[in-house]
């Protein structure tokens, strides 16, 4: 596969990077990424995922845009208030790059629809705000054999982890957090607050990791980073990373 001339011009700054090159850009055009959650993480992440030229995007969110979102959810504007985030996000992508294939789901994720949403994807990026949804997505990714990039942010801290629990030696997200959080019990930014730029930092870091994973085996930039979690501290500022071991008793991936 080769890129048409107008796409070569659009992605010229990628293509001249030896670590990505033409082969990497062609590979991105053939990838399918599912983005779960279009809020503080998903909103800015989507802007750079679309800008990277990822060929197919499935956008999942059942929420509507609220005025309080605009401080950190940079995809939206005041005209979007009251409208569904998934619909607004699709409109933004199609205006930004009509060549991208965009599908949406504005239903809340549950046991009945989660498997269909992740099936066939090359990568799932989860930026949702509760453990019940995160664990449901993680378990579905394990069942489908799809890798998961999980990103979270609160106040001045964030984390981004890459999981491939369907592989024998790699952890899933449930290995990381355990089974105690199968409820919607996360703290919310409405209660604790959040610096908007912190959400942007975590989101763009997650977008970088997504591109890195999607290019694994294709270009020098590609790398999986499975079972590794990066912590981002906005107060210091600083970053650090640690690895997660696969839990042999994990209810999400051990049977794989």
Distances (CA, A) of 91 to 59, 85, 184: 11, 10, 29
Distances (CA, A) of 137 to 21, 108, 144: 32, 12, 10
Coil/strand/helix, residue 57: strand
Residues in the chain: 256
Distance between CA atoms of residues 132 and 113, nearest Å:
14
φ, ψ of residue 228 to 5 degrees: the values are -115, 135
**At 238, which helix (H) or strand (E)?**
strand 238-243
Catalytic residues: 189
**Which has the closest alpha carbon to 170: 227, 228, 225, 214?**
227
């Amino acid at each position: 596969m080769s890129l048409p001339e107008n796409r070569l011009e659009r992605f010229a700054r990628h293509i001249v990077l030896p670590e990505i090159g033409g082969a990497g850009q062609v590979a991105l055009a053939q990838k399918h990424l599912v983005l779960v959650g279009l809020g503080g993480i998903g909103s800015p992440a989507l802007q750079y995922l679309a800008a990277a030229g990822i060929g197919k995007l499935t956008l999942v969110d059942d929420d509507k845009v609220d005025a309080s979102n605009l401080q950190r959810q940079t995809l939206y504007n005041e005209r979007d208030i009251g409208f569904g985030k998934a619909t607004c996000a699709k409109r933004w992508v199609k205006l930004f790059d009509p060549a991208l294939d965009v599908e949406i789901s504005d239903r809340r994720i549950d046991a009945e629809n989660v498997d269909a949403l992740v099936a066939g994807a090359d990568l799932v990026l989860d930026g949702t705000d509760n453990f019940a949804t995160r664990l449901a997505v993680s378990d579905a990714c394990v069942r489908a054999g799809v890798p998961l990039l999980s990103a979270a942010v609160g106040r001045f801290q964030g984390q981004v982890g890459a999981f491939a629990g369907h592989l024998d030696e790699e952890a899933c997200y449930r290995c990381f957090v355990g089974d105690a959080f199968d409820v919607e019990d996360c703290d919310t930014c409405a209660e604790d607050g959040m610096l908007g730029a912190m959400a942007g930092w975590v989101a763009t870091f997650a977008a970088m990791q997504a591109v890195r994973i999607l290019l694994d085996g294709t270009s020098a930039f590609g790398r999986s980073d499975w079972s590794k979690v990066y912590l981002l501290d906005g107060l210091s500022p600083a970053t650090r990373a640690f690895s997660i071991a696969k839990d042999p008793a994990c209810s999400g991936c051990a049977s794989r």
